């Protein structure tokens, strides 16, 4: 109620031209000291998003149909584990520090991790001639999110942007895709931390590069992967319905890698 | 509840131009007798709003510069009709709007078969604010923002400027944001018995923006022409409305009984009952001068429940 009352008071003040300004008193230094660093915004979030079709179109197209994003319960495997269908228990904080740096942090509220889920009916590629290739069908994934920290960095001394840095800890507990004669099938896919019950780590920065910085003679963007660490695998991979067996990649590390768009 | 009503009434009064007061005539008793139960306020509005700077201060600042709200093409934001009523009981209800939301659109010939709307409940004593056009056509609008940028603590409010714009501010998040769109019916019901208001809005938007900190620019359009759920379209026109319905209320004891800090606090609850439409992101340009392609999202639907408070 306090928030709405404050809004009401603010609206009243804004709309009262030449309002009463008598009896204003200066705030003492010791009173001001208690005010510093008390601002910032917290949002406790619960929700779900559906999308009947996502289509990225260049000359051809990449298309995903029947998307649901929410809690682990949007997948069959996650639902059977007892998870709900909403992406919830999420606490998002927004802070702007004294240097004008914006930090947006996603963390769990009550529990120690947030369950998430994603499912899609079909994933296809389409040529400019409208020929389609099915990649996946009944694609489902669920896992946990421990935190995402996004920082909009301050500009460099010359005023150029230093982009956005993202640090995240997460897992994919179970990734599946239906096996058929036309698609890639996946059973028991996972991306986890290197320690038991640990989280995979991705630390990266996405930033624009000027022509002078890029080395390709024009403006572009780059993704700098400072650190990616995870165990990756699946219990069975099949192509066209034919099983190829298990895949296991232990202790995968990617560091000091820059991917620069050049088109 | 009182707070919500004050907001709405203050906004309505502030928005009202100095209405024509000419030719006022005294009512005799007979004509007064016929007026009972037919009260309410109608405001026909034309406006053009510019704001040099909006600054949100945390430790540093988040600033919006050169904000303007007008009609499309630099015209006034006009053709708006606001109706404000305090509803009576069902035997004495005389709202300025004959119907709310999708029912109003359907009556105007729009296809609303896919609208995902929760019927707004109007009970005795509720404040009902309706936005319609005077002409019957959707209201055209433009929202423009020169820059959205971050700035350090100690910056001078009223003179904030981004580094990119020659100032001493910080990172520019968005520049050259321009949104043209149309407003369909917008209905606000403020409940008399609880600390809550419900906003039900139909609208469309298209425009372009640049995000310098990401080296990315794009065009966008939010509408509802494609897919299985089509709402707010009418044959023979380009009108097509996305839909947003939000319930805003007060949580008096958020986190009560939990170990979460802060706990047992008053907070603002924003329940997004529905946000739906089709979203096109086109001419996406990352860094260079060539587009990397277009993204089309069909039947996007979001439900979210958020509790918002300071820390």
Task: Output the pLDDT for position A197.
Answer: 66
Q: Which of B212, B213, B247 should one mutate to test binding to chain A, selecting the residue with the greatest count of A CBs within 10 A?
A: B213
Cα A161-B160-B158 angle, rounded to 5 deg: 165
- For residue A14, the chain B residues in CB contact (below 8 A) are 14
CA distances (Å), A189 to each of A134, A198, A240, in order? 19, 16, 18
Residue A16 is assigned to a structural domain of this protein:
no
Longest dimension (CA), chain B: 75
Burial of A250 (0-12, 13-18, 19+ CB in 10 A): exposed
Tell me the residue length of chain B.
311
Q: State the residue for tokens 């004495």.
A: B92
Taking only residues 97 to 126 of chain A, the set having a beta carbon closer than 8 angstroms to any beta carbon of chain B reads: 97-102, 109-110
How far B210 CA sits from the closest chain A CA (Å)? 12
Query: Which residues from chain A sit within 8 angstroms of residue B172, using beta carbons?
Result: 161
Q: Which two tokens stand for residue A200?
A: 């995979």
Residue that has been written with the tokens 């392609």 in this structure: B293
- Each residue's pLDDT, cut to its tens digit, for chain B (311 residues) gives 444 444 444 444 444 433 333 334 444 544 444 444 457 899 999 999 999 999 999 999 999 999 999 999 989 999 999 999 999 887 767 788 889 999 998 888 888 887 889 999 898 999 999 999 999 899 999 999 999 999 988 888 988 888 777 777 789 999 999 999 999 999 999 998 888 999 999 999 999 999 999 999 999 999 998 887 776 677 677 788 999 999 999 998 888 888 777 788 889 999 999 999 999 999 999 876 778 899 999 999 999 999 999 98
B50: which residues sit within 8 A by CB, 6+ positions away?
B66, B67, B68, B69
* DSSP H or E segment with residue A107: strand A102-108
From CA B194, how far away is CA A259, in angstroms rounded?
A: 54
- pLDDT of A18-45, one tens digit each? 333 344 444 444 444 444 445 799 999 9
Question: Number of structural domains, chain A?
Answer: 1
- Number of other residues whose CB lies within 10 A of the CB of residue A45: 20
pLDDT at A81: 96
DSSP B154: T
**Residue A150 belongs to domain spanning:** 41-260
More confident residue, A59 or B296: B296
pLDDT at position B245: 98
For the cut 80, the answer to whether the pLDDT of residue A92 exceeds it is yes
* pLDDT for res B34: 46
A171: distance to nearest CA of chain B, Å?
23
The answer to whether the Cβ–Cβ distance between B215 and A1 falls below 8 Å is: no
Residues of A in contact with B212 (CB under 8 A): 161, 208
Q: Which is nearest to B296 in space by CA: B270, B277, B278? A: B278
Q: Which chain A residues in 222-241 lie under 8 Å from chain B, judged by CB atoms?
A: none
Q: How close is the nearest chain A Cα to the Cα of B26, in Å?
A: 31
Contact A71, A85 (CB under 8 A): yes
Q: Both tokens of residue B129? A: 């604010």
Token reading at A33: 């000291």
Contact B170 A41 (CB under 8 A): no
Say whether pLDDT at A13 is over 50: no
Q: Check residue B264 and give its pLDDT.
A: 85
Q: What is the DSSP string of B207-256?
A: EEEEEGGGTEEEEEEEE--SSS---SB-TTS----EEEEEEEEEEEEETT
Contact list, A36 vs chain B (CB under 8 Å): 59
Question: In chain A, what is the straight-line distance between the N-terminal and C-terminal CA atoms, in Å?
Answer: 53
Closest-CA distance, A234 to chain B, in angstroms, reads 30
A157 interfacial to chain B (CB closer than 8 Å): no
Distance from CA of A118 to the nearest CA of B (A): 14
Do residue B296 and residue A11 have CB atoms under 8 angstroms apart? no
Whole-number Å distance between alpha carbons of B276 and B298: 9
Name the residue with higher pLDDT: A36 or A160.
A160
CB contact under 8 A, B294 and A56: yes
Residues in chain A closer than 8 A to B245 (CB atoms): none
Q: Does A44 touch chain B (CB under 8 A)?
A: yes
- Candidate from B3, B169, B212 with C-beta closest to A100: B169
> How far apart are the CA of B226 and the nearest CA of chain A, in angstroms?
10
Of the two residues A257 and B32, the one the predictor is more confident about is A257
Q: Which two tokens stand for residue A171?
A: 């897992």
For residue A32, being part of any structural domain is answered with: no
Three-state SS string across A84-95, please? Answer: CCCEEEEEEEEE
Report which secondary-structure segment, H or E, holds A3. helix A2-15
DSSP B261-293: SS-SEEEEEEEEEEEEEEEEEEEEEESSSS--E
Q: Is A156 on the interface with B (CB under 8 A)?
A: no
Cβ neighbours of A155 in B, within 8 Å: 163, 170-171
Q: Is A153 on the interface with B (CB under 8 A)?
A: yes
Nearest CB to B301; choose among A41, A50, A219: A50
Q: What is the DSSP code (8-state) at residue A217?
A: S
For a pLDDT cut of 70, what percent of chain A falls above it? Answer: 84
Beta bridge partners of B150: B62
Domain boundaries, chain B: 2-17+81-135+181-308
Task: Give the pairing type, strands B293-310 and B265-286.
Answer: antiparallel
Residue A31 falls within a domain, yes or no? no
ipTM confidence: 0.82
Mutate which: B3, B195, B262, vs A, most A CBs within 10 A: B3
Which residue in this structure is represented by tokens 């584990």?
Answer: A81
- Least confident window among A7-16, A166-175, B88-97: A7-16
Neighbours of B277 (CB within 10 A): 30
Report the chain A residue with the minimal C-alpha distance to residue B172: A161
**Residues near B120 by Cβ (< 8 Å), separated by ≥ 6?**
B100, B101, B187, B189, B198, B200
Residue B111, pLDDT score: 85
Distance CA A159, CA A62 (A): 37
Please indicate whether, in this complex, the C-beta atoms of A96 and B163 are within 8 angstroms of each other. no
Whether the CB-CB separation of A81 and A72 falls below 8 Å is answered with yes
Query: Does A2 fall in a domain?
Result: no
Chain A residues in contact with B288 by the CB 8 A cut-off are 218-220, 261, 263
Q: Which residues of A touch B4 (CB under 8 A)?
A: 4, 8
pLDDT digits (tens, 9 = 90+) for A102-145: 999 999 998 999 999 999 999 999 988 888 899 999 999 999 99
Residue A4 covered by a domain: no
- Going from the C-alpha of A239 to that of each of A139, A243, B42, the distances in angstroms are 14, 7, 66
What pLDDT, on the 0 to 100 scale, is given for residue A6? Answer: 41
Is the residue at A36 inside a domain?
no
Chain B contact for A210 (CB, 8 A cutoff): no
| CA–CA distance, A128 with A136 (Å, rounded to integer) | 20
- Burial of A27 by CB count in 10 Å (0-12 exposed, 13-18 middle, 19+ buried)? exposed
End-to-end Cα separation, chain B, in angstroms: 24
3-state secondary structure chain A: CHHHHHHHHHHHHHHCCCCCCCCCCCCCHHHHHCCCCCCCEEEEEEEEEEEEEEEEECCCEEEEEEEEEECHHHCHHHHHCCCCCCEEEEEEEEEECCCCCEEEEEEECCCCCEEEEEEEEEEEEECCCCCEEEEEEEEEEEEEEEEEEEEECCCCCCCCCCCEEEEEEEEEEEEEECCCCCCEEEEEEEEECCCCCCCEEEEEEEEEECHHHHCCCCCEEEEEEEEEEEEEEEEEEEECCEEEEEEEEEEEEEEEEEEECCC
* Predicted pLDDT at A34: 43
B215 → chain A, closest CA residue: A208
Q: Which residues of B touch A209 (CB under 8 A)?
A: 215, 287
CB under 8 Å, gap of 24 or more: what pairs does A192-199 form?
A192/A230, A192/A231, A193/A169, A193/A229, A193/A230, A193/A231, A194/A229, A194/A230, A194/A231, A194/A250, A194/A251, A199/A144, A199/A146, A199/A169, A199/A170, A199/A171
Tell which A residues from 77 to 96 touch B, by Cβ distance under 8 Å. 93-96
Contacts of A56 in chain B (CB under 8 A): 293-295
Top residue of B215, B228, B276 to mutate, by most chain A CBs within 10 Å, is B215
Q: Is residue A199 a part of any domain in this protein?
A: yes
Q: How far is B33 from chain A (nearest CA, A)?
A: 35
């620069």: which residue's tokens?
Answer: A260
**Torsions phi, psi for B101 (to 5 deg):** 50, -130
């Amino acid at each position: 109620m306090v928030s709405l009352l404050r809004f009401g008071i603010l609206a009243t003040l804004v709309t009262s031209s030449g309002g009463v300004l008598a009896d204003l008193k200066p705030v003492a230094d010791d009173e001001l000291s208690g005010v510093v660093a008390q601002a910032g915004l917290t949002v406790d979030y619960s929700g779900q998003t559906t999308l009947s079709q996502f289509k990225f179109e260049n000359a051809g197209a990449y298309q995903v149909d029947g998307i649901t994003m929410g809690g682990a319960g949007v997948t069959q495997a996650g639902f059977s584990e007892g998870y709900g269908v909403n992406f919830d228990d999420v606490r998002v904080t927004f802070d702007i520090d004294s240097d004008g740096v914006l930090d947006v942090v996603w963390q769990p509220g009550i529990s120690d991790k947030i369950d998430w889920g994603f499912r899609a009916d079909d994933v296809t590629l389409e040529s400019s001639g409208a020929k389609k290739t099915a990649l996946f069908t009944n694609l489902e994934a669920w896992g946990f999110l421990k935190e995402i920290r996004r920082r909009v960095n301050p500009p460099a001394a010359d005023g150029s942007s230093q982009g956005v840095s993202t640090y995240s800890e997460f897992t994919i507990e179970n990734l599946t895709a239906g096996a058929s004669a036309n698609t890639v099938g996946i059973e028991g896919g996972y991306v986890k931390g290197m320690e038991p019950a640990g989280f995979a780590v991705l630390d990266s920065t996405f930033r624009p590069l000027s022509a002078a910085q890029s080395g390709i003679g024009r403006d572009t963007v780059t993704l700098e992967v400072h650190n990616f660490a995870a165990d990756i695998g699946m219990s069975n991979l099949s192509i066209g319905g034919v099983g190829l067996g298990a895949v296991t990649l232990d202790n995968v590390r990617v560091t000091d890698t820059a991917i620069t768009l050049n088109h | 509840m009182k707070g919500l009503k004050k907001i709405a009434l203050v906004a309505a009064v502030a928005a009202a131009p100095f209405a024509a007061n000419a030719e006022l005539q005294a009512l005799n008793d007979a004509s007064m007798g016929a007026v009972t139960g037919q009260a309410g306020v109608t405001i026909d509005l034309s406006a053009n709003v510019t704001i040099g700077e909006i600054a949100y201060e945390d430790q540093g600042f988040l600033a919006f510069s050169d904000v303007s709200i007008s009609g499309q093409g630099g015209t006034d934001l006009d053709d708006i009709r606001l109706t404000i009523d305090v509803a009576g009981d069902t035997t004495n209800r005389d709202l300025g709007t004959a119907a709310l939301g999708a029912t109003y659109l359907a009556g105007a010939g729009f296809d609303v078969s896919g609208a995902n709307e929760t019927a707004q409940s109007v009970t005795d004593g509720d404040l009902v604010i309706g936005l319609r056009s005077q002409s019957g056509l959707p209201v055209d609008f433009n929202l423009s923002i020169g820059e959205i940028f971050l700035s350090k603590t100690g910056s001078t409010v009223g003179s904030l400027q981004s580094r990119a714009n020659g100032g001493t501010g910080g990172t520019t998040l968005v520049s050259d944001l321009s949104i043209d769109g149309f407003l369909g019916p917008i209905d606000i019901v403020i409940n008399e018995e609880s600390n809550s208001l419900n906003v039900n809005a139909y609208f469309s938007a298209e425009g372009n923006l640049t995000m310098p900190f990401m080296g990315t620019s794009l065009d966008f359009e939010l509408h509802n022409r494609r897919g299985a759920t089509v709402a707010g379209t009418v044959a023979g026109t380009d009108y097509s409305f996305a839909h947003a319905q939000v319930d805003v209320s007060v949580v008096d004891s958020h986190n009560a009984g939990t170990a979460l800090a802060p706990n047992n606090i008053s907070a603002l609850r924003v329940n997004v009952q529905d946000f739906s439409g089709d979203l096109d992101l086109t001419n996406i340009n990352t860094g260079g001068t060539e587009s990397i392609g277009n993204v089309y999202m069909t039947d996007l639907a979001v439900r979210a429940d958020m509790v918002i408070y300071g820390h």
